[in-house]
Structure 1
């Protein structure tokens, strides 16, 4: 833990949401939990485009739940679904443009044993390939990290990783938003790193 954190700067998040969602692929999510630093590579994201996106929480206006999305970019928006799954989102764009990127999947880099233990000893491709799975593995919850400033380099932040080539990115519709209007439900705003066997090299 002696290394000085190099968190992504606020300017990284203060850009169009889909640009941020794309460039987050390959970045490293760092969480300091119970005296251990866990590091994971981001392999899947989804963009949520504020007022223009009927799948986005903030499209219904400012509420106590979505207040953080209206604030400065580079903060965590963590919410609970079904009373049991925490979802990590990264606030993007300008103040009062309430957009965010949902982190959907990761690959362990440092601390894999801890992550596996928190997932009940599960191993394999389905261990960290869902937003509720990865938050449980990394110890991320609404109570601990909602509204957290990701640019401070404390407790939870993101760092640059190895860039992902365009030919290795798969784009498609987002998941679990059947309530959204068709043009938003079917938009290719889910981005993921192609499995190794399908990559372009």
Structure 2
């Protein structure tokens, strides 16, 4: 009987070890799976589908709401023809609705204008001469530092020039001018 119990214990131990090895292998496969390593990739199509369904639901809800509102307004308009007080109330509600829409439109226009202004400011900042100079470019002025030199034809050998760089300026003399042909797009 002890021998049978020992055999059963050994078989049970072997079965448990095999089961543990199988589960370790399963865990290793799961850890190597792309779904667990990058779960956002597996969820992305579902999220996109959910976004699309949400947009469709919102559009349909808004359309249904608008349709119901229009139908209600038409029925109310028919009834109000028979009661002057109702006409006054309708006009007052319409005025309130128009006022709300006007406020919403004005808020949206201000917000849109602010966004465009911020975008323009970012563009201006990116094109700022100081930003360009910080990237290694410079500006060349006449000796008095008043007139920007844009062509080799504006200076002659021996002329003094001022070169403004990001952190200061250089006073230089023109030793030689060389004209380049930039019409080829190079």
TM-score with structure 1 setting the length: 0.13
More helix by share: 2
Larger radius of gyration: 2
Instruction: From the two aligned structures, give the one with the greater strand fraction.
Output: 1
The higher-RCO structure (CA 8 Å, 6+ apart) is: 1
TM-score by length of 2: 0.14
